[in-house]
Each structure stands twice: as structure tokens, then as C-alpha cells.
Structure 1
Amino acid sequence: MNFKLSHYVIFSDIIDEKNNRLIYTTRTGSLLKISDKVYSHLLNNDFTNISNDDIMPLILNEAIVDNNEDEFKEVLQRNRLAIKDKRLVAFTIQPTGNCQLGCNYCGQVHSKKTMNDLIKNKVVERIIKKVSAKHITGLTVEWYGGEPLMGFAKIMEISKDLIDYAERNNKTYFASIITNGLSLKLPIFKKLVKDCQIKLFQITLDGLAETHDKRRITKQGEKTFDIIFDNIKAVINSKEYDDSDCGILIRINIDKTNGDNVTRLIDLLAQYGFHEKGVAFEFSPVVNWGGNNAAKNSYSPKDFGNLEIDWILHAIKKGFKYKTVLPSLNPIVCQVVDKESEVFDADGNIYPCYEFPYTPKYENDNYKIGNIMFPEESFNNNAITRNWNTDIEKGISFCPTCNLFPVCGGGCPKIWYNNEVACPSFKTNIKDRVVLEYILKHEKCQEIISSL
């Protein structure tokens, strides 16, 4: 077989006194160490002078591939097969269009609408119908809004129905929630964990109070940081949290107005022992939502990528755990590409993407699958984003030429359909991540990172 160096590789600079380098193969998500000599042979497509011991891991991890292979088509085909062969179906349920907050970057228009019993029952019926297929082994449910906890009663009712079905039919069940945290009092948390089997809580803190309370205030202009922070502290210090296997993800929506506050937030959370409770971070750039120009104060991708590495290093120094900093294989980029996965809003509308409901820009029927109260024959199975992999081939994005495509999948399809660039932040800092990943696995990890 004639070989070629895969397009889907990332090389580091020399990392040690032995002139070794790292090679990250995005086709398999593998990280290997190679000598500088092997590196030179690879760049020159000189495979005959690479020893068998050195070349076999490169072949097995697809750093070297068949010279005749169209790699992009191969990766895209794997992605399509992953969707076809999936065994779990993902659903997002938005039980209410209401929210206490009036965040300055949110694209939603909120209302006091909450899912009624008729729509609730129809949603449960549709989910059960989809999950009842023999090859489906389970389902995942993400609760979203508006603010989902303003529809707490419906979360309880729907969870009971779906959990009962899953247990009776030997299906796995996993649930998560994206909440602003205002209503996440300890008694509510206990019910969500015990009765709703929610395992992951994503809560947003946009820096310390001084920045958070300028961005994430109530519709009446009231501050929210202290309430949310106290709620999280009460949760992570509870016996119920310790006894559960759930986790908390702190999302920070970041632009130039709060970027200098991120490390101080990390310091505060470490001061209160969040690092000892398995709390993790998601550093997210503020992006436009429904054409609201929210990204007007955002960092450039390069600047955000550089800052993100600094934030990750700072979090590690403060004791927060990172199992990995490298993106893993991502054949199913988002539930939007799986035509069995759906989003349900409080009115019974069905969408492919959870950012479409309650957002005026996406009220167009092209973005909607249908409504739960109408016959399935009327549904639009080709709603925007559903044919993402086909549209990549047609040139909607830069993905066909990007060496990160296997671990990215294209980023957020919705953003590309808005004629904006959706490349993730790791595109600009992947080489730093490769080296940091190596350090994380090193026996002297903390010593090395402390010196950086």
C-alpha cells in the first residue's frame, strides 16, 4: 500500500531535550510522541526510512493513510454512519417560555406561556414512540427554556412518565438541565436529582458580581449574582450532592466587557472549595443570537483562544481538574443532524435546534419541524440544519479543508446558516492544547504547570 501523511494531523514544536514532538491525529483523537527525525520523514513523505516500531502506531492511529483515499469523504461517511447507527435519541424540552432574567445578549423573547397538559402528554407520547424502536437502547433529555425551573411542575411530571417508561422497557435514561440558577434552591435540587434523575447542571456566572450583575439582571433590573452563587454553594456542600454522581458546569459567557474578570471568578470559586466538588468550567465567547448583534464586543477568535489557554491554566493551578483539554471525535456534531432528535417548546412546536424557540428570527416555518398537535404528515423533515452534512459538501462552510473537522464536526451549524463563522475556539489554540494535554498526563503535572 502506498501511504501519505494524513491531512488530519497537528504537530507540536520540540517538547524535550531528546528532540521529541507530539502528533495529534484528529481522525482518531490520538496523541503520540515521535522523534524529530520521524517528523522530518513524515513531512517529506519518506516512509521507507521510518522503523516498523515507529510507523505502526502512526498507521493504526491514522496519521498515515492510503495515498488514494479522499480523507474528507471518508470522515464525512463515518459521521453519517454514526448518525445511522446511534443507539440513543436526544431530546430537548422547553417547558416554559418564561424567564426571570433580561440578559443583554439573549436572543429570546420571553412570555409567561407554560406547557399545558395536552401538549405535555403529546410530547411524552412522541418521545416514547421514537425511543420504542428495538435498536434504540435509551434516551437523553435536556431541560431548557426560557428558564426551565419556571416550569418545574412540568419537569417533574414529564420526568416521571419518561423514567417509568425507561425502567419498564429496559432503556437507559440521562437528563441534564441548563438553568440560570436563580430558583435552584436546595429542596429543588434534591427533587431534580432524586425524582428527575438529572445528572448535569449548567449554570452561568459571567464573572464576579461587578460584571455579572450588569449582564444577567432580572427584568425588573435586580441583581442576581449573590443569589445564584449562594444557591450553588448550598448545593455543592449538601449531602445529597456528595451522594449523587451529578456534576455542575459553570458557563461563563465572555466578551471584552468581562474578560478581565474571569480569573477572579475562578479564584472566588476555588476559595469556596468548588474545585474539590468536581465543578468544571465552560468558557464561551458571546455570539450573535437571532441577529441581535450580541457579539459586537467579542474578542477576535485568536485573542479569545489565547485567553482561553490562560484561563484553563489558571483553573488547573487553583486545583480544578481537567481530564483532557483536547477535543474528542465528534461524528454527531449536534442533535440537529439526527432526524430522530427533537426540541419541544411550550406551545408544542418542534424544532431541530434549541436556540430556535422563542426567537423571532426563527419563527419562519423553514426552521420548524412542525407542531405536536398536527398530523405528522404535515411535518417538515428537512428543516434548516437537518441536512448539515450534505450542506457541508455543498460548501456552506470551510470544513472540507480544515484539519480539525473530525473532532469539530463543523461547530454550530446554526451559525453557519446565519452566514457567520462557527469555528470553535480550539481552532486557534490547538497547538497549545496538544502540549498541555501531554503535560496533564505527566507525573510532574502540577510542578510543570505551576512554573508556567
Structure 2
Amino acid sequence: MEMSPYVLSKSLSDGNVYYNTKNNHSFFITNELLRKIDCDDTTRSQYNDYLESWHYHQEENELQDTLARIKNEDDKLLEFTILTHGDCNFRCKYCYEKFENISMSPEVEDAIVTFADKLLSEGKFEIFSVQWFGGEPLLGYKTIVQLSERFLELCSVYDIEYFSVITTNGYLLNKRMFQNLVGKCKVTGYQITVDGEKKFHDNQRLLKNGVGSYDRIFANLKMMGASSLHFHCTIRFNISKENVESMEHFLKLDGLVFREDSRFSLAYHNIGDWGQGERADDYCVDIPNGDFSYYCSQQAISLGYNIESPQIMMSNSINCYANRKYHYMFNVKGVIQSCTVALYHKENIFGSVLTGVVNEKKRNDWLKEIEIERCSQCPYVLLCKSGYCPLVRINQEKSWERLCRLYKERIQKDFSLFILSKSYNDILDIN
């Protein structure tokens, strides 16, 4: 039987790696076992049984059936992204946001809870996921506490699993706040940015008063690591021309405190032209030439760190949150949107939670489905989903062919990182 066209593979010096994009299963098989399969009927039969049990062979209607399963899983998930405050205590040199010193009103909080109650009461969701965002979300800490309590009550009433994460600069995250967020609010996922060593981080991520932020953020990260609480923290690195050389130094010095703690993983991103926000023209750092995020990820894996992108990007269940049918973003004033990058694009405004009116036709036009006719023969289609970023599609700054090539290159790099980190499910070898 032939392998499915949606199985990725790579030959290594000591064996082969296979990744089934239909179900996210993967394995490494040694050269010794492959040689035995060639000459031993029993071993060959056992291997074929293994492949069949994990659906590695080509199957009838496999693309359509897999897409239906993915959609069925996505439709069980309700996601909210909530901007708890309009301001930020930082003024980073690559920030795309505009700030307003306002907190969320009780009326907006009540309206969001009512909106959640209406959707959850329909009985079609199994998971309710909330992402706290900003501005700086911890400026709206009181809103997080109040809404979390009410969301948890709703999930108890409707017997729904609750999951909550926060994207924060980490500056205000003291021990008491962290313990409350994890213990009472069930915020167990964190993304906190550290842009390399102190000197380079403090050049890019400054407080409003121009003072560096590294020392306090790093101390708060160590406080998290010293706790016995159950959480996961992604330490994000935004790479510019100015700080790229500091990344390896961080890994070999300050970063060592996180290397053996499975609750921490690293994520590297090249800065991009995300928008000017309120920044002056000369208040910026430069976009790097080349994909240093890939290079830095390779370095981190070779030094024994956990890297986030291979496990996340090599999954058919992951799609841009802005492209999910049941994802809603609420800004501090209650405006309903989808994308946290396109905050000021009119295409990204769908209504107001205060009125309860959502322009579903406009939301549906924003969402993007896989283009079956164009993409069905591509081995990466279940990961790429025909280029799943609605904002990229709407901007149309690049041709379809160029976007397709960029997505393929990104997936190929993530597959290489996946292999380098040995993230496969099984290792098949001679007993």
C-alpha cells in the first residue's frame, strides 16, 4: 500500500522520520529495522499493521474526512481574547499599538459575560478558552479576576472545560498576583518576552519613562520557576538586527535557570513591519535580514532547551485564532474583533458586545477556508490550510505564489526543528 500524500518524511543518516499530517502522529524508524523489514516477512507485516493503525497509508476521501474532523474539533471550542486595559506601562521600539489610559467598565464586563453565557448555553461547546491581552493586561488585573470568577461559574453550570492564558510583559507579575492568577483564576499559560541579554533587551523594551525592564522581568520569571505551581510559560524573543547577537549569550548565561524546567519553553520571532502605533519615526529597531528565528531555534535545541514552535506549528489542529469561527476578541470598550494585530483595520471590526449585535456576514467574509481545487495535491495543505492568516489575505501585498512558497518554507523549517528536537511519538527499532 502507498503512503498517503499527506505524510511528510525525511531521511537521516541513521533512519527515517515520518509525520502524518492527517492525525499529527509521527515516528522515527532506524536503518537496522528498515533492512530487516526488507528481508523478513513477519517484520514487514508488523510494520504494515503499525502504519495502518495510524492511517499512514493512502485512504479514500482522506483529505475531506480529515478536514471534517478538524472542523468538528474546532466547533467544540469557544475562544475569547480580551483586552483588559487600553494602556501599557512599556513603550517598546517595535510596538504597533496605540494607547489610551482606560480600564474596562463594569458595563463591558457584564456584556462579555452575557455574551459568553448565551453561547455556552447552546450546548455545542466542550472547551472555553480565554486569552488575556492588552495594552498590558495586568494593568487590568481587577478585570481579569472578576471575569475569571464569572467564567468559571459558567463553566461549572454548563459542565465545560476552562482554559486560560495571558500575554504579558511580566513587569507587574509579583508573587501574590501570580499565585492568584494560577490558583483562583486558572490562568495557567503565560507568554513573556525577553529580548536577549539585559543590555539589548533594555534597548528594545523600555518603560514609558525610558528605563529598562530586564531586571524585574527576569526576577519575576525566576520567581515563577521557584514555585511548585502547575503552569506553562513561553519566553518569547523578538529578534531585530540590534539584538540578534545577544540571543546565544542569553542561552549560555541567564537562560540556564529555565533549561531543565519543563514548564518553560522558548519561542523566537523576527520582528516585522507590524505598524507604527504611537512611535516616532526614529523610535525603532531594524528588521533583520534573513530568518534568524530559525537559526536561534536550532541553537536553543542544540543547547538542550525546549522550543515551542515545532510542537505547535506541526499540528493540523492549530489555525490562526483570527481564522476560527468561534473566536471573538473584545477590546477595552467592548468592540468585537478577531485579530490582535489588525486592531485598527475596519475589516477587523464586527460589532459591539454592548449592543450584542455581531455582523456575522462580515465575520464569515473574514474567515478563510482551504482552497481544495488549488491545494488538494500539496503535502502541506493540512498544516498550511491554504494560508490561514486572514490579514495577509486581505492585505494582498504578496502574490499567491509567493505566499505559498513562504508557507512551505516555514513548514519545512518547523519540520526540521521537530526532527532536531526529537519530538516524534514513537521510535521503531529492532528489539
Matching of residue 54 in structure 1 with residue 47 in structure 2: yes
2:352 is aligned with what amino acid?
N
Question: What displacement does 1:441 show?
Answer: 7.2
Structure 2 counterparts to residues 190-201 of structure 1, below 5 A: 190-201=179-190
Structure 2 counterparts to residues 375-414 of structure 1, below 5 A: 375-376=356-357, 379-383=359-363, 386-389=366-369, 392-393=371-372, 400=376, 402-409=378-385, 410=387, 412-414=389-391
Question: What displacement does 1:24 show?
Answer: 2.2
Amino-acid identity (%): 22
Aligned to 1:341: 327
2:72 is aligned with what amino acid?
L
Aligned to 2:272: 287
3-state SS of paired residue (2:173): coil
Aligned to 1:434: 419
* Alignment size in residue pairs: 408
2:100 is aligned with what amino acid?
S
**TM-score, reference length from structure 2:** 0.82
3-state SS of paired residue (2:162): strand
1:371 to 347, 352, 365: 352
1:155 to 144, 158, 167: 144
2:165 to 160, 176, 182: 176
Alpha-carbon RMSD: 3.5
Does the Cα contact within 8 Å between 2:268 and 2:296 map onto a contact in 1?
no
2:46 is aligned with what amino acid?
D
Question: What displacement does 1:197 show?
Answer: 1.6
Question: What displacement does 1:312 show?
Answer: 1.9
3-state SS of paired residue (1:10): strand
CA distance in 2, matches of 1:6, 1:369: 40
CA-to-aligned-CA distance 1:44-79 (integer Å, 9 cap, x gap): xxxx9x94333333344343204xx56654544443
CA distance in 2, matches of 1:57, 1:176: 37
Does the Cα contact within 8 Å between 2:266 and 2:308 map onto a contact in 1?
no
CA-to-aligned-CA distance 1:265-322 (integer Å, 9 cap, x gap): 2233444456336221112222332478989623434x543442222222x1xxx456
CA distance in 1, matches of 2:302, 2:221: 23
Q: Please say which of residues 245-254 and 279-288 is displaced more in the overlay.
A: 279-288
CA distance in 2, matches of 1:224, 1:174: 29
Aligned to 1:101: 90
Q: Please say which of residues 333-342 and 148-157 is displaced more in the overlay.
A: 333-342
Aligned to 2:246: 261
Q: 1:413 to 1:255 in 2, by over 3 A?
A: farther
1:24 is aligned with what amino acid?
Y
Q: 1:418 to 1:298 in 2, by over 3 A?
A: farther
CA distance in 1, matches of 2:324, 2:424: 36
Q: 1:333 to 1:253 in 2, by over 3 A?
A: same
Q: 1:382 to 1:290 in 2, by over 3 A?
A: farther
CA distance in 2, matches of 1:199, 1:333: 21
In structure 2, list runs of 5 or more residues that go unmatched: 36-40
CA distance in 1, matches of 2:172, 2:307: 29
Q: 1:259 to 1:426 in 2, by over 3 A?
A: farther
Aligned to 1:164: 153
Q: Please say which of residues 75-84 and 210-219 is displaced more in the overlay.
A: 75-84
Question: What displacement does 1:142 show?
Answer: 0.9
CA-to-aligned-CA distance 1:328-360 (integer Å, 9 cap, x gap): 432351333333321111111011223333xx3
CA distance in 2, matches of 1:94, 1:192: 16
Q: 1:131 to 1:232 in 2, by over 3 A?
A: same
Q: 1:167 to 1:234 in 2, by over 3 A?
A: same
Aligned to 1:27: 22
CA distance in 2, matches of 1:11, 1:272: 35
Structure 2 counterparts to residues 36-435 of structure 1, below 5 A: 51-66=44-59, 69=60, 72-84=63-75, 86=76, 88-237=77-226, 241-242=227-228, 244-272=229-257, 275-276=260-261, 278-290=263-275, 297-301=287-291, 304-314=293-303, 316=304, 320-321=305-306, 325-326=310-311, 327-357=313-343, 360=344, 362=345, 364=346, 366-376=347-357, 379-383=359-363, 386-389=366-369, 392-393=371-372, 400=376, 402-409=378-385, 410=387, 412-419=389-396, 421=403, 423=407, 425-431=410-416, 433-434=418-419
Higher RCO (CA-CA < 8 Å; seq separation 6+) = 2
**TM-score, reference length from structure 1:** 0.79
Does the Cα contact within 8 Å between 1:27 and 1:407 map onto a contact in 2?
no
CA distance in 1, matches of 2:379, 2:299: 24
Question: What displacement does 1:143 show?
Answer: 0.4
Does the Cα contact within 8 Å between 1:12 and 1:21 map onto a contact in 2?
yes
3-state SS of paired residue (2:155): helix
CA distance in 2, matches of 1:110, 1:228: 22
CA-to-aligned-CA distance 1:7-60 (integer Å, 9 cap, x gap): 2233222432xxx322222222222345779999xxxxxxx9x94333333344
CA-to-aligned-CA distance 1:223-270 (integer Å, 9 cap, x gap): 111121122223332xxx31x211222111123322221222223344
3-state SS of paired residue (2:298): helix
CA distance in 2, matches of 1:25, 1:338: 23
3-state SS of paired residue (2:135): coil
CA-to-aligned-CA distance 1:386-442 (integer Å, 9 cap, x gap): 42115x4586xxx65542332444454433433354738443252453254179977
CA distance in 2, matches of 1:325, 1:308: 10
Q: 1:254 to 1:37 in 2, by over 3 A?
A: same
Question: What displacement does 1:147 show?
Answer: 0.4
Q: Please say which of residues 272-281 and 127-136 is displaced more in the overlay.
A: 272-281
Matching of residue 13 in structure 1 with residue 2 in structure 2: no
2:362 is aligned with what amino acid?
N
Does the Cα contact within 8 Å between 1:103 and 1:216 map onto a contact in 2?
yes
Does the Cα contact within 8 Å between 1:29 and 1:407 map onto a contact in 2?
no
Does the Cα contact within 8 Å between 2:136 and 2:168 map onto a contact in 1?
yes
CA distance in 1, matches of 2:262, 2:297: 22
